[in-house]
A = this chain, B = another copy of it.
Amino acid sequence: MLTTEARQKILADNEAAAGELRQRFAAAGTLVVDLISGPGSGKTSLLEETARRMSRELRLGCVVGDIATERDARRLAAAGLRARQIMTGGACHLDARVVRDAVDAERFGELDILFIENVGNLVCPASYALGEDFKIVLLSVTEGQDKPLKYPGIFSRACAAVITKIDLLPYVRFDLEQARGEIRLLRPDAQIVLTSVTTGEGIESWCDLLRGALERKRRPALVP
């Protein structure tokens, strides 16, 4: 097991690199969104649908992390998103340095929104700042309503939870009220968006959440 000191050192080094990224994105006016979920919850599918709806109005890009394969970047590029794959080669999460290298390599300086699709893992990515404006957690209804309290790290850090695959609700046991209650227990101000890329339900609400966040980032409130 990693010692507490070693872990703190790693996180402090990462925080420093994330701080630099945050400054760069602030100067460029780029909204940065870190998407986190377990494997197969639908991160790539949500981003494909987001790109189809928003890529004509906004300059979108994505850095996508996987242990191996470039599949997700290829899917996203086919949906019209500028995408850069990071193959972590075993690492269970992205860190700020690999994101910075990918942003530099892809010349992602002029985007409206940069998505970071993290490695499919509900645990480790929660602890790593990547210069993002906020983290989003995805939970598919097939995974069960008990996940928020079992993975409190990410559900308390994410400002919004996207419940995916709601078209499958008739076929699985998923207690939506319990899921909502657990998310709000961990993060009372969490936005909760119900989506299905199969039926299209909720996708516009998700896009509106992004549009609103981008607008707020670019027009700081004049009145406190």
Binding site for B on A (CB under 8 A): 1-2, 6, 10, 38-41, 66-69, 71, 90-92, 95, 97, 119-124, 140, 142-144, 146-147, 149-153, 165, 167-168, 171-172
Contact = CB atoms under 8 A, between A and B. Distances in A.
A37 B149 CA distance: 18
Contacts of A40: 38, 140, 142-144, 147
A39 B69 contact: no
A68 B150 contact: yes
Grouping DSSP codes into helix (H, G, I), strand (E, B) and loop, the A interface class, with mixed when no group exceeds half, is loop
User: Which 3 pairs show the lowest CB-CB distances between chains A and B?
Assistant: A40-B143, A142-B142, A92-B123
B140 A91 contact: no
A169 to B, nearest CB: 11
* Copies of this chain per assembly: 2
Contacts of A120: 38, 122-123, 150-151
A150 B92 contact: no
30 contacts: A1-B10, A1-B91, A1-B95, A2-B2, A2-B10, A6-B6, A38-B40, A38-B121, A39-B143, A39-B147, A40-B144, A40-B147, A41-B143, A67-B123, A68-B150, A69-B149, A71-B146, A71-B149, A71-B150, A90-B123, A90-B153, A92-B92, A92-B124, A120-B123, A120-B151, A121-B121, A121-B122, A142-B168, A168-B168, A168-B172
Given A38-B38, A92-B124, A119-B123, A67 B150 contact: yes
A69 B150 contact: yes
